[in-house]
Amino acid sequence: MDDRHAGNFQALTNYLDDFTKMLPRLLAMREGINLYGATTFSPFSIFNPDENTLSRVVAELFDPGGSHGQGPLFLNGLLSAIGIPRLNRLDTVKVRREVLTRAKRRIDVVIETSRHVIGIENKPWAAQQKNQLADYLAELKADLHGRKPVLIFLSDQEAQTAGEVAIRVPYYNTEEGETTLHKVLSTLTAEIKANAPKAFVEDFLRYIEIKFGGEYVDTPADKPFIDAVNAEFDDLQRRKAIASILLSHEVLHIRILDEIGEYLLAEVRGKVSGDFEASCPFPDIDPKVSDCLWQKWTPYGLRRPSWPTNCHVAIEAGIDWVDGIIFGVRCPDGSELSEQYRHYASPGRKPWKVWSLPSQVEGRRFIGRGINNLRSDIGDRNSAPG
């Protein structure tokens, strides 16, 4: 070992020794922050809301008579964002949920004012049904009494019908200048007078950032650790040592994930068929576990060349990275995809019924067991210390 490597090794050793001595104090600070601040406590993380629950949240916030006590604050914020005149406190507003239409469908939220009939269709995850938004718009127009119909599509998807009329409001993902639910609510938090609804909206914003934005959200309880590392990083002699630790952790994590994927592929080739190959339907993504699972709804799959195009036995991260891992036969139905994603449809979908897919796809059960073990293994590794 030359002098340069010896110096780096000594710097790394000194850093680890010093940081180890700081850990009890940092842990105590973290426990104190959690004890008095409960920085990670949130009803959204506990109950993990589904589509109906999110619709109830939206209806409650945009109801001027809601339990939040803030009157038309939230509704006016939405109206202003989409170019509709604001209401005053004397305006009569009626908010209903699950409004049954003449076509026997249900609009998630309908808000009636003296000048507008506003329908909100909430689609955070599910695909749109045939002519769904067009039917909703027709229903809103059926009982106007001189009012104007407004259809809001609360979703990151593009509207498949009524697109020229429906106002798309994504939860978080946005192009520059586009209205989002996150943007509407975040501009109003300073105006919320009561502590309880203010804390609730802040929790909701945090939930939106994580679920729909894929954002890393800082936890205040981690601040002592971050400050300690930053302080050490200012020391030029220790900067390389800290960078080496962080880099080795990331590289090791990626390597473990990819080795699991390679092992699974080898097992399938050896026990089912030798022509299986790793796959991902997105051409710009390498079919590797680490590359695919790093992104939501990006599958790492296994398939045979004889299978229909875009048919895979796959694992992917759904709602959350790692926590939302799902697996199964991935064979998209083109009728449920918007035009821009239609090329990801599989021609194998129509002749195969959903319930017969396991028997049609050779080796699916064996692969499913292996992928289930992979999902469990990833979860165990993710929850391990460090």
Residue pLDDT, tens place only, 324-334: 788 888 888 88
Predicted confidence (pLDDT) at residue 18 exceeds the cutoff of 60: yes
- Number of neighbours of residue 267 by Cβ within 10 angstroms: 14
Percent of residues, the chain, with pLDDT higher than 90 = 42
Closest by alpha carbon to 132, among 165, 162, 170, 97? 162
In the chain, the percentage of residues whose pLDDT exceeds 70 is 79
Q: pLDDT by residue (tens digit) across 286-305?
A: 999 988 888 878 899 999 99
Shortest CA distance to 182 belongs to which of 203, 162, 166? 203
Query: Does residue 379 have a pLDDT over 50?
Result: no
Q: Which pairing describes strands 167-168 and 277-279: parallel, antiparallel, or unpaired?
A: unpaired
Mean pLDDT of 348-353: 60
Q: How many whole angstroms separate alpha carbon 10 and alpha carbon 5?
A: 9
Q: Are 232 and 242 in contact (CB under 8 A)?
A: yes
SS3 122: strand
Phi-psi region of 34 (alpha: psi -120 to 50; beta: other; left: phi over 0): alpha
**Which pLDDT value is given to residue 37?**
75
More confident residue, 177 or 208: 208
Phi-psi region of 254 (alpha: psi -120 to 50; beta: other; left: phi over 0): alpha
pLDDT at position 7:
62
Tokens of 139: 């229903």
For residue 383, is pLDDT > 50?
no
pLDDT at 262: 93
Residue 225 pLDDT: 75
> Residue 354: which pLDDT band, with cuts at 50, 70 and 90?
very low
**Mean pLDDT calculated for residue range 107-113:** 95
The answer, yes or no, to whether residue 381 has pLDDT greater than 50, is no
Question: Given this model, what pLDDT does residue 139 score?
Answer: 93
CB 147 within 8 A of CB 91: no
How far is Cα 139 from Cα 301, in angstroms, rounded to an integer?
42
Give the torsion sign (CA, 125, 127, 132, 134): positive
At 222, the pLDDT band (50, 70, 90 cuts) reads confident
pLDDT at site 8 = 61
Highest mean pLDDT among 249-253, 269-273, 358-362: 269-273
The mean pLDDT value for 306-316 works out to 90
The rounded distance, in Å, linking the Cα atoms of 241 and 15 is: 7
Q: What's the pLDDT band for 317 if we cut at 50, 70, 90? A: confident
List, in order, residues 6 or more apart from 185 with CB less than 8 Å away.
Answer: 61, 74, 77, 201, 204, 205
Q: What is the 3-state secondary structure (H, E, C) of 162-199?
A: CCCCCEECCCCCCCCCCCCHHHHHHCCHHHCCCHHHHH
